[in-house]
Amino acid sequence: MNKFLCGIMLFAAGAASALDLTTNDGKVYKNVSISSVTPVGFDICYTPKGGGLAIREILFTDLSPAWQKKYHYNPKEAAAFTSKVEKLQKMRREDLEKQYKVWLAREEEEDNIEAAIYAKRLNVQLTSIRATPFGCVAYADAPIDSLTAGHYGKVLIMGLELDNGDSWAGNIYPAGYSVTVSEGNLPVYTPSLDQAVILSRSRHNTQPQK
């Protein structure tokens, strides 16, 4: 998919000369083409080490004043854009959670709960915030994300012990309910499909320790 998207970006760039882009931390991106410019940054397609094509988002705050000026970067406009994006992401998460609860209840009645949970699994990169007695609280992001996509927010992971700052990558499965902890009301996930099924079926009778 990345190669396909990069191909589109390169095609759209036409005969324009390839660029090399260096961020403020000294990282160099070779043969860059630019698309999807927003008030906070843009997407680049570039040649990573070892060859091939890759795509990622670059923020204007990570670029020199010359690049910021070239693309008319305005911190106030960027802040307003970020605020709108965060509000829309929150609304989307809340709406999806409501839809999921309705669907899960229907599937549970039809004894299809395992399939329903499996269909809602997420492939994520977790960054632990803190350990809990039965797991951890963590930030969940898609392996490839941007400002506007791939950020799932904070989650409570049952059955996965991670210390503060530890990382973990893999599939997580929703238990179908949320728990209120010091970080807020967080959706409960587990790295095991079987455990997610057990937690979901018992959620009306048993709440995990916070």
| pLDDT tens digit sequence for 122-171 | 888 899 999 999 999 999 988 876 655 678 889 999 999 898 889 899 89
Give percent of the chain with pLDDT exceeding 90: 31
- Measure CA of the first residue to CA of the last residue in the chain; give whole Å: 40
201/105 Cα distance (integer angstroms) = 10
State the average pLDDT for the chain. 81
Query: How many CA atoms lie less than 13 Å away from 26 in the CB half-sphere?
Result: 0
Of 75-84, 110-119, 159-168, 198-207, which range is least confident? 198-207
Q: Which residue spans within the chain are E strands per DSSP? A: 19-22, 28-38, 41-47, 54-59, 122-132, 135-141, 151-158, 167-181, 184-190
Given a cut of 60, whether residue 110 has pLDDT beyond it is: no
Q: What is the pLDDT of residues 46-93, one digit of tens each?
A: 887 777 777 788 999 999 999 999 999 999 999 998 888 888 777 777
192/201 Cα distance (integer angstroms) = 14
16 vs 38, higher pLDDT: 38
Contact criterion met (CB below 8 Å) for 57 and 42: yes
Residues in Cβ contact with 9 at an 8 Å cutoff, skipping those fewer than 6 apart: 33, 34, 35, 43, 45, 55
Given a cut of 50, whether residue 204 has pLDDT beyond it is: no
95 vs 130, higher pLDDT: 130
17/111 Cα distance (integer angstroms) = 58
Q: Helices 75-109 and 193-202: crossing angle, nearest 10°?
A: 80
Task: Tell me if residue 194 falls in helix, strand or coil.
Answer: helix
**Stretch 93-107: mean pLDDT:** 73
